[in-house]
Amino acid sequence: MFDIKLIRENIEAVKSGLAAKNVKISLEDIIQLDQKNRQLLMAVEELRGQKNTANDEISRLLKEKKDPKEKISSMKAIAAGIDHLEPQIKEIQMRIQDCLLGIPNLPHASVPVGGIEKNQVVRSWGEPKTFDFKPRTHVEIAEQLDIIDFKRAAKLSGSHFVLFKRAGALLERALINFMLDVHTREHGYTEVFPPVLVNRESMTGTGQLPKMEADMYRLKEEDLFLVPTAEVPVTNIHRGEVLDEEKLPICYAAYTPCFRREAGSYGKETKGLVRVHQFDKVELVKFVRPSDSYDELEKLVGHAEKIFQLLGLPYRVLLLASGDLSFAAAKCYDIEVYAAGLDKWLECSSCSNFEDFQARRADIRFKGKTTPKPMFVHTLNGSGVALARTVVAILENYQTKDGDVIIPEVLRPYMGGLEKIRRS
């Protein structure tokens, strides 16, 4: 949740940050509500002081065996005044909270200002592969190899769903296990396997609600949501907790299927695996000290990059401009992998620092020797990495002229030693 203190003390910086994200929100209402809330709180505190004084005076009068009726009557009037003001305060604070929930995080100072055209390629790895034949798209490859059935998936669930089969299903499973092994064994993450249905508090804690509720799959009767990413349940593992500073950073890796109603614009690029309603992903989540969070972000990006390096897939890392940042992110890097058949760079990982934005919403704090008073942690998350676009890149970059697909060497132990997916 946004920090009301920042609006109160540095409103111009808030306005500038919102403008950089291309967000138009009037802050006047929340300023007025905040002022009214503080006035009422001061009035209640003053009345409570009078009530305490009256209580002391009544005790003194009783000890002196004097009549306390006048003071008791006065105290009751004071108590009635408190009872009158407290519901007003509660209502105003709820309105303030609703306003704060709708304000996005502000971009970090290192983020370039502007829209998508201001995104910066900060580095790249590998070279896009060239072929001595016209490379096929993953849709053509999958259909020829009979490893993905798009038509039957549509029969089962509708458009933008996928039915993996045979070596396609094996490839999907191999990638998930491979990525979890790399992140837990080499990068030190703790593996968790969370629920894929979460409550409204969890979705609000990470910033998906209330703004993006229309894009989520919801079970109305239970008011539960299918996760759009494992970031939601994993970040909320520590909702409402105070963490031990000595145990930071806490790093989790989790596989879940992910569900999103929005499937992008209509047209050629939405065919196949590029934009789907359900996809698999290994997610990385970190809880860190505020002083360490930007160093931890760079490490996080490196962990996601390692997956693509091991798979031998050419990629580039983009620093997103302010207008392309998500609602909750203060800084974000996207990793785009080249797909030879589509001749496009596809986003396969997104790594973000939310600073204390999510921690405020989910009330996640830490304390220790250097911070005896609880402070909000900084939370980070990144795709480590997302399918099915990684499958797109493997199929299109590892295709052969005769229609086979070579299996990346690191995946072969996970696929029973299979070296190629061959045409029947």
- Burial label for 396, CB within 10 Å (0-12, 13-18, 19+), is buried
Strands 344-353 and 197-199: unpaired
Of the candidates 66, 101, 136, which is a domain's last residue?
Answer: 101
- Is the residue at 128 inside a domain? yes
Residue 181 and residue 129 share a domain: yes
Same domain assignment for residues 88 and 121: no
Would you list the DSSP string of 39-53?
HHHHHHHHHHHHHHH
Asked if 82 and 124 sit in the same domain, the reply is: no
| Same domain, residue pair 154 and 223 | yes
Angle at 49 between CA 46 and CA 55, to 5 degrees: 145
Q: Are residues 160 and 294 in the same domain?
A: yes
Clarify whether residues 141 and 70 are in a common domain. Answer: no
Within-domain flag for 393: yes
Domain residue limits at 339: 116-421
Asked if residue 109 belongs to a domain, the reply is: no
Query: Residue 335's beta-bridge partner residues?
Result: 317, 349
pLDDT (0 to 100) of residue 268: 45
Alpha-carbon span 7 to 91, nearest angstrom: 20
Q: Are the CB atoms for 231 and 192 separated by under 8 Å?
A: no
For residue 79, CA distances in Å to 52, 61, 396 come to 10, 19, 74
- Same domain assignment for residues 300 and 172: yes
In CATH, what number is assigned to the domain containing residue 150? 3.30.930.10
Return the pLDDT at 372: 87
On the 0-12 / 13-18 / 19+ scale of CB atoms within 10 A, 30 is buried
Against a cut of 0.95, is the pTM above it?
no
Which residue, 62, 78, 101, sits at the end of a domain?
101
Residue 107: inside a domain: no
Q: What is the DSSP letter of 164?
A: B
Looking at the structure, tell me whether residues 73 and 205 fall in a common domain.
no
E strands along 331-377, which residues?
A: 331-339, 344-353, 365-367, 375-376
Q: What pLDDT does residue 69 have?
A: 87
Specify if 106 maps to a domain. no
The pLDDT averaged over each successive group of 10 residues in the chain (424 residues) is: 87 96 93 95 94 90 88 90 95 94 96 97 96 97 96 95 97 98 98 98 96 94 97 98 98 98 56 94 98 98 98 98 97 98 97 98 95 95 97 98 97 98 86
Do 73 and 125 fall into the same domain? no
Q: How many CB atoms lie within 10 A of CB 200?
A: 15
Domain-located, residue 263: yes
Structural contact between residues 384 and 286, judged by C-beta atoms closer than 8 angstroms: no
* Predicted local confidence at residue 319, as pLDDT: 98
Instruction: Assess if residue 108 is contained within a domain.
Output: no
**C-alpha 259: how far from its chain's center?**
14
Residues 297 and 244 in one domain: yes
Is 110 inside a domain boundary? no
End-to-end CA separation in angstroms for the chain: 55
Predicted pLDDT of residue 3:
85
Total tally of structural domains belonging to the chain? 2
The per-residue pLDDT for 265 is 47
